[in-house]
């Protein structure tokens, strides 16, 4: 029988980087476009990096041009790496990596994140979680987060994996919306960027205070989907 596919978000779900991502984006926008405090007031949590670029540009009265992305991304990645070189920046959230490893015994696991792929790896490397994920889907794979579940199914197929139910594990109402858009089961943790109340109102299938305290319920859900 096809295994479930469990897709983990990164920021607020696996790790917190104490503003490193936002600071690095701000530095890149300032350096390359002269836009100060570029992400201020921009909806960042749960958004893909490409959507953030569009929204930042709009804030400064510009249309984001795709040809600007590569240079912005390169600057951002250097700025992010510099910040993550400080170990105090990275907080690995409770229950990890134990819960990822336990899920991987009964399911395929992957990343599903709005980060650009190389930014995702920088954050996971800083948290020493990279080796738990062989693959993922990123901002490059779907401009809008709601396209990431179909992208994950597609990539699983490319990798020769036969997957059944898909589970999205995230920390924001955007993760719940993304799961619904892709016909996936939505699991949320209260360790990230949405309030407990807003998460509840988004009606996820399972809401956990964190992946440690909620590990039994989470792993039971995954095991049930595989039966």
Name the strands in the sheet holding 185-189, side by side, starting at the edge strand that comes first in the sequence.
136-137, 108-112, 3-8, 163-170, 185-189, 206-208
- Establish if 11 lies at the interface with Mg ion (CB under 5 A): yes
Q: Binding to Mg ion (CB under 5 A): which residues in 168-187? A: 171
Q: Binding to Mg ion (CB under 5 A): which residues in 44-83? A: none
Q: How far is the CB of 120 from Mg ion (least distance, A)?
A: 11
- Nearest 5 degrees, angle CA 204-CA 97-CA 107? 60
Q: 9 vs 23, which CB is nearer to Mg ion? A: 9
Q: How far is the CB of 6 from Mg ion (least distance, A)?
A: 15
> Residue 11 gets which letter from DSSP?
B
The residues, ordered by sequence, that sit 6+ positions from 218 with a Cβ below 8 Å of its Cβ are 99, 103, 169, 187, 206, 208, 211
Q: Among residues 5, 7, 12, 103, which is the contact residue for Mg ion, using CB under 5 A? A: 12
Among the candidate windows 5-13, 20-28, 181-189, 201-209, which touches Mg ion by CB under 5 A? 5-13
Q: How far is Cα 146 from Cα 157, in angstroms, rounded to an integer?
A: 19
Q: 69 vs 174, which CB is nearer to Mg ion? A: 174
The residues, ordered by sequence, that sit 6+ positions from 131 with a Cβ below 8 Å of its Cβ are none
Q: How far is the CB of 99 from Mg ion (least distance, A)?
A: 16
SS3 186: strand
- Establish if 9 lies at the interface with Mg ion (CB under 5 A): yes
Using CB atoms within 10 Å of the CB of residue 66, give its burial: 0 to 12 exposed, 13 to 18 middle, 19+ buried.
Answer: exposed
Q: How far is the CB of 42 from Mg ion (least distance, A)?
A: 15
Q: Binding to Mg ion (CB under 5 A): which residues in 117-176? A: 171
- Establish if 114 lies at the interface with Mg ion (CB under 5 A): no
Q: How far is the CB of 64 from Mg ion (least distance, A)?
A: 22
Q: How far is the CB of 14 from Mg ion (least distance, A)?
A: 9
The residues, ordered by sequence, that sit 6+ positions from 180 with a Cβ below 8 Å of its Cβ are 186
Q: 4 vs 46, which CB is nearer to Mg ion? A: 46
Q: 35 vs 218, which CB is nearer to Mg ion? A: 218
Q: Where are the beta strands (DSSP E) in 98-199?
A: 108-112, 136-137, 163-170, 185-189
Size of the residue set binding Mg ion (CB under 5 A): 4
Q: Applying CB under 5 A, which residues contact Mg ion?
A: 9, 11-12, 171
């Amino acid at each position: 029988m096809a295994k479930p596919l469990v897709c983990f978000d990164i920021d607020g779900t696996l790790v917190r980087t104490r503003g490193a991502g936002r600071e690095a984006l701000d530095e890149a926008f300032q350096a390359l476009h002269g836009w100060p405090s570029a992400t201020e007031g921009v909806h960042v949590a749960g958004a893909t990096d490409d959507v953030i670029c569009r929204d930042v540009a709009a804030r400064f009265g510009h249309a984001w041009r795709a040809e600007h992305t590569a240079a912005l991304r390169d600057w951002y990645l250097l700025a992010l790496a510099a910040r993550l070189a400080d170990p105090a920046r990275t907080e690995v959230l409770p229950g990890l990596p134990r819960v990822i490893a336990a899920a991987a015994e009964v399911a395929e696991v992957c990343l599903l994140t709005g980060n650009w792929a190389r930014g995702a790896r920088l954050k996971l490397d800083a948290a020493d979680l990279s080796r738990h994920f062989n693959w993922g889907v990123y901002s490059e794979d779907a401009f809008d987060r709601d396209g990431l579940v179909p992208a994950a199914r597609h990539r699983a197929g490319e990798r020769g994996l036969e997957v059944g139910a898909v589970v999205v594990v995230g920390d924001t109402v955007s993760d719940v919306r993304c799961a619904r858009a892709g016909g996936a089961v939505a699991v949320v943790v209260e360790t990230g960027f949405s309030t407990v109340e807003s998460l509840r109102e988004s009606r996820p299938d399972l809401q956990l205070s964190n992946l440690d305290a909620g590990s039994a319920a989470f792993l039971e859900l995954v095991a049930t989907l595989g039966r």
